[in-house]
Structure 1
Amino acid sequence: MLDVDRRTPMKLLLTSGGVTNASIEAALVEMLGKPVAESSALAIPTATYGHQMCDPGNAWRFLAGESPAPMCDLGWASIGVLELTALPSMDRERWVPWVEQADALLVDGGDATYLAHWMRESGLADLLPGLTDTVWVGLSAGSMVMTPRIGEPFVSWRPEGWSDETLGVVDFSIYPHVGMNPMEGADRWAAPLGVEAYALDDQSAIAVVDGETTVVSEGTWRHLPLVSR
C-alpha cells in the first residue's frame, strides 16, 4: 500500500457512478472552490484496460462524455487525457507539471488493482501527497483504487502474485453499484477485508476533505462497520 499520511489535505470525491446528481456536483464545486466551467481537468482512462468486460470503446465513451457516468461532460474549462501506461516512457519534467496544474483528475472505472499498479509504475502515486489543491474524482475502480482492499470478487486483472490490495489512501473500502450489485451481498464481501466499508449506489459518493469523510447521496448507501473476526 501507499504510505500516505491520511491527515494530508487531499481532496477526494469517490463516486460509484460519476457525478450523477446535483448533490454530488455541489460537493465537487465546493472542493474545487470555483465553478466547473472555470476549472481544468485531466481524464485518466487507464483502469479500463485492466478489466475483462471493458474494451477500447469504454475508454472512448468515457473521454468523449458518451458514457452513462457523467465525468468528462460536465462543462470543464479545459480537459486533457493522462494515460498512465505512457508515462514511464516520458521524462517526469514533461508530465508532472500537467498533473500539478490541473484542478481535477477524472479517473475512470475498470480494474482498481490494474490502476494501482500503473499509478505506482508511472510515478503518479508518489505525487498524491503533494496534490493538496487537486480534486481526485473517481468513478467505480477510480474510487476503489484509493482504498486499502477491493475484495477478491472485484479483481479482474490477475497476473502472477496478484492480490486485492490497492493504495490505502483512505482507511475504508467501497462496494460500488448497489442495485447492479445486490446490497445483501455487501456484508459477505466486506467480512474478510479487515476495514470498515461503504456500499454505494450510483447516486451516491464519498467526499474526503482534510481527512474527514462525508457521504453525499440522493440514492441508497450503507455504512459497513469493521466486524471483528
Structure 2
Amino acid sequence: MRALLTSSGVKNDSIREALVDLLGKPIAESNALFIPTGLHPFPGGPGMAWETICGKRSSLLCGLGWKSLGILELSVLPSIETDTWMPTVRDADALLFGGGDPLFLANWMRRSGLTDLLPTLRSEAVYVGVSAGSIAATSTFVETFVDPPRSSDGPLKTENVVFATPEGDLDRILVTGQGAGLVDFGVIPHFEHPWHLDASVANAEKWAARIPAPTYAIDDDTAIKVVDGAVDIISEGHWKLFQL
C-alpha cells in the first residue's frame, strides 16, 4: 500500500499531482473511502465530519472530485460482519484518514481490524492522511494534550512538558501512542502554524526527541509520499527532518 501523509490535506497543486501519481489515474476515476473517526472526541465532531465530507473545511480531502466517496466509520465495524465491509475497503483506490485525535483513531484502527488489514491491501491502494490520520500511520507517535486523554487501550505513557511560545509557556501532556506501523518514521503536522504553537521549530524538536525513529515535521503545504518504503517530500512550504 502507498501513502500520502499531509498536515492539512491536498492544499496545493504539488500535493494534488503527487496524489494522482500514486493513484495511477485521475481522481475523477478513483473510488475513495473517508474515515472520520478521529474527529469524534472533539466538541462538534459530527459537524466537523460533515463539513469535511462536503469539502467545506480547510483540510481538502473529500471535495477533490472523486468518482465515488463512501464513509467508513471504524467504531461500528466490530459490530458488523467482516464480510460486509472488508470487500469495500479492498476495492477502494484511496482510504482518506481525517484529522482529530490520533490516539482515538489508532485505537479504533486496531479494534476494528483495519490495522491488520492495511498491509494486505493491493499495492496500488493509497493511504491518504490528514494530521492525526498521518500520525496514526506511524509505528510510534507522540501527541500533546491539555488534559489527560481517556484510553480504552490500556495504560498510556505520559509526560509533562513545557513548550515555549511568544505568548508564554504552554503546559502540555505528551502522550506516546502506537500507530499502524505503515511507515518507519514519525510525523509532526502543522509545523510552524500560528494556531499550533507547540509545533514550532524548538517545540517540534521536543516532540521528535520522544519518537524512536526519524521524524518529519511538515507544514500545511507539505506532504510525505511513500512508495515501497521510499520517501519523497512534496512541498511548497516548510518541513524539517529530525534524525535520531
Are 2:120 and 1:136 equivalent residues in the alignment? Answer: no
For 1:112, give the aligned amino acid: P
Greater Cα shift, 162-171 or 34-43: 162-171
Alpha-carbon contact 1:111-1:157 (below 8 Å) kept: no
Give the TM-score taking structure 1 as reference length: 0.89
Alignment of 1:35-184 (within 5 A): 35-50=26-41, 52=42, 55-131=45-121, 132-153=123-144, 157-159=149-151, 161-163=155-157, 164-178=177-191, 179=193, 180=196, 181-184=199-202
Q: Greater RCO between the two (CA within 8 Å, min separation 6)?
A: 1
Aligned to 2:208: 190
Aligned to 1:30: 21
For 2:91, give the aligned amino acid: Q
1:143-163, Cα deviation, whole Å (9 max, x unpaired): 100112221426974325134
Equivalent pairs counted in the alignment come to: 216
Distance 1:154 1:171 in 2: 24
Alpha-carbon offset, residue 29 of structure 1: 0.3
Alpha-carbon contact 1:24-1:204 (below 8 Å) kept: yes
Alpha-carbon contact 1:116-1:166 (below 8 Å) kept: yes
For 1:196, give the aligned amino acid: P
Shift in CA distance, 33/154, structure 1 to aligned 2, threshold 3 Å? farther
1:156-178, Cα deviation, whole Å (9 max, x unpaired): 74325134222222111111101
For 1:99, give the aligned amino acid: V
For 2:243, give the aligned amino acid: P
Alpha-carbon offset, residue 77 of structure 1: 0.7
Alpha-carbon offset, residue 133 of structure 1: 2.1
Shift in CA distance, 140/152, structure 1 to aligned 2, threshold 3 Å? closer
Q: Classify the secondary structure of the residue corresponding to 1:223.
A: strand
Aligned to 1:213: 231
Distance 2:107 2:53 in 1: 21
| RMSD (Å) for aligned C-alpha atoms | 1.6
Distance 1:88 1:188 in 2: 36
Greater Cα shift, 122-131 or 134-143: 122-131
1:115-145, Cα deviation, whole Å (9 max, x unpaired): 1111111111111111122111100000100
Alpha-carbon contact 1:114-1:157 (below 8 Å) kept: no
Alpha-carbon contact 1:111-1:154 (below 8 Å) kept: no
For 1:158, give the aligned amino acid: R
Alpha-carbon offset, residue 53 of structure 1: 5.6
Q: Classify the secondary structure of the residue corresponding to 2:70.
A: strand
1:59-115, Cα deviation, whole Å (9 max, x unpaired): 111111111011000000110101011111111111001001111011100111211
Give the TM-score taking structure 2 as reference length: 0.84
More strand by share: 2
Distance 2:63 2:238 in 1: 24
Identical amino acids, percent of aligned pairs: 48
Distance 2:27 2:93 in 1: 9
Q: In terms of Rg, which structure is larger?
A: 2
